Structure 1
Amino acid sequence: MSFLPVSARPGAFAWLPILLLVAGGPANADGLFTLKSENDIYSGGSDGHYTNGLEATWAFQTSPEHWLNDLADRLPGWSRNSLDGGAYRLSHQLYTPIDIGEKSLDVSDRPYAGLFTAGVSLFDSESHDDWRRLRSLNFDAGIVGPAAGGETIQRELHHVLDSEKPEGWQYQLHNEPVVNMSYKTSWIARSALNGLEVEYGPSLGFALGNLYTYGATGGGVRIGENLSRSFGIPSIAPAQGGRSFFLPDQGFGWYAFAALEGRYMAHNLLLDGNTFEDSHSVDREEWVGDALVGVAFNWDRWQLSVTHAWRTKEFHAQPESDSFGSLSLAFWY
Structure 2
Amino acid sequence: MVRTPGHILLSLLVSAALISADAQAEEKGTLTFTVENDVVSGQDRHYTNGLRLAYVTAPVEPNAFERLFTGEDTVVRRSFAGSQQIFTGEDITIANPSDDDHPYAGYLFGEYALLTEDDGKWQLFTLEAGVVGPSALGEDTQNWFHRSLNFYEAQGWDRQLEDEFALNIAYDWKGRSIANGKLGGLDMELTPVAGASFGNVAVNARGGAMWRMGPNLKPNFGPARIRPSLTGSGHFAREDSWFLFAGIEGRVVAHDLFIDGSLFQDGPSADKKAFVADAQAGVVFDFGGAQLSWTMVARSKRYEVQERGDVFGALSISVKM
The TM-score with structure 2 as length reference comes to 0.91
Measured after TM superposition, the shift of residue 229 of structure 1 is 6.8
Q: Are 1:70 and 2:101 matched, yes or no?
A: no
1:235 shift after superposition? 3.4
Cα RMSD over matched residues?
1.9
Q: Which amino acid aligns with 1:194?
A: G
| Contact kept? 1:45, 1:322, Cα under 8 Å | no
CA distance, structure 2, for counterparts of residue 149 and residue 55 of structure 1? 15
2:173 to 175, 179, 185: 185
Partner of 2:283: 295
* Equivalence for 1:97: 89
Q: Which residue of 1 aligns with 2:252?
A: 264
The residue number in structure 1 matching 2:263 is 275
Q: For residues 197-222 of structure 1, what are the alpha-carbon distances to aligned partners after superposition, in whole Å with 9 as ceiling and x for unaligned?
A: 12212122100000000000100111
Q: Which moved more, 1:232-241 or 1:171-180?
A: 232-241
Q: Does 1:194 align with 2:191?
A: no
Aligned residue in 2 for 1:172 = 160
1:275, distance to aligned residue in structure 2 (A): 1.9
* Mapped contact 1:49–1:95 kept (Cα < 8 A): yes
In structure 2, the CA distance between the partners of 1:230 and 1:184, relative to structure 1 (3 Å rule), is closer
Whether 1:116 and 2:102 are equivalent positions in the alignment is: no
**Amino-acid identity (%):** 32
Do 1:35 and 1:56's aligned partners in 2 also have CA atoms closer than 8 Å? yes
* Equivalent position amino acid for 1:123 in 2: L
Contact 1:138 1:240 in 2 (8 A): no
Q: 1:80 to 1:103 in 2, by over 3 A?
A: farther
State the partner residue of 1:159. 147
Question: 1:83 touches 1:122 (CA, 8 Å); kept in 2?
Answer: no
Q: What CA deviation, in whole Å up to 9, does each residue of 1:240-280 have, x standing for no partner? A: 855143222x2x20000000000000000111112222111
TM alignment of 1:34-45, pairs within 5 A: 34-42=32-40, 44-45=41-42
Change (3 A) 1:125 1:55: same
Q: Secondary structure at the match of 2:182?
A: strand
SS at match of 2:218: helix
The residue number in structure 1 matching 2:77 is: 85
Matched, 1:217 2:213: no
1:208 aligns to 2:198 (yes or no)? yes
Gap change, CA 1:242 and 1:59, over 3 Å in 2: farther
Task: Work out the number of aligned pairs and report it.
Answer: 312
| Counterpart for residue 54 of structure 1 | 51
Shift of 1:122: 0.7
Distance (Å, rounded) in 2 between the aligned partners of 1:72 and 1:329: 28
Aligned residue type for 1:227: L
One-letter amino acid matched to 1:71: F
Residue 24 of structure 1: CA displacement?
4.1
> Matched residues in 1 for 2:46 and 2:146: separation?
16
1:211–1:269 Cα contact (<8 Å) kept? yes
Match of 2:227 in 1: 237
Residue 192 of structure 1, CA deviation = 2.8
Aligned-pair CA distance for 1:124: 1.3
Picking from 17, 25, 43, the partner of 1:26 is 17
**Which amino acid in 2 is paired with 1:38?**
E
| 1:293 positional shift | 0.3
TM-score, normalised to structure 1's length? 0.88
SS of 1:271's partner is helix
8 Å contact kept, 1:233–1:257 = no
Deviation of 1:237 (Å) = 2.6
For residue 124 of structure 1, what is the amino acid of its counterpart?
Answer: T
Consecutive unaligned residues in structure 1, runs of 5 or more: none
Match of 2:263, SS state, is coil
| SS class of match (2:93) | coil
Which of the numbers 120, 135, 156 marks the counterpart of 1:147?
135
Name the amino acid aligned to 1:32. Answer: T
Aligned residue identity for 1:25: A
* Letter aligned with residue 105 of structure 1: P
Say if 2:38 and 2:48, in contact at 8 Å, map to a contact too: yes
Structure 1 residue 111, shift from structure 2 partner: 0.5
The code of the aligned residue for 1:235 comes to R
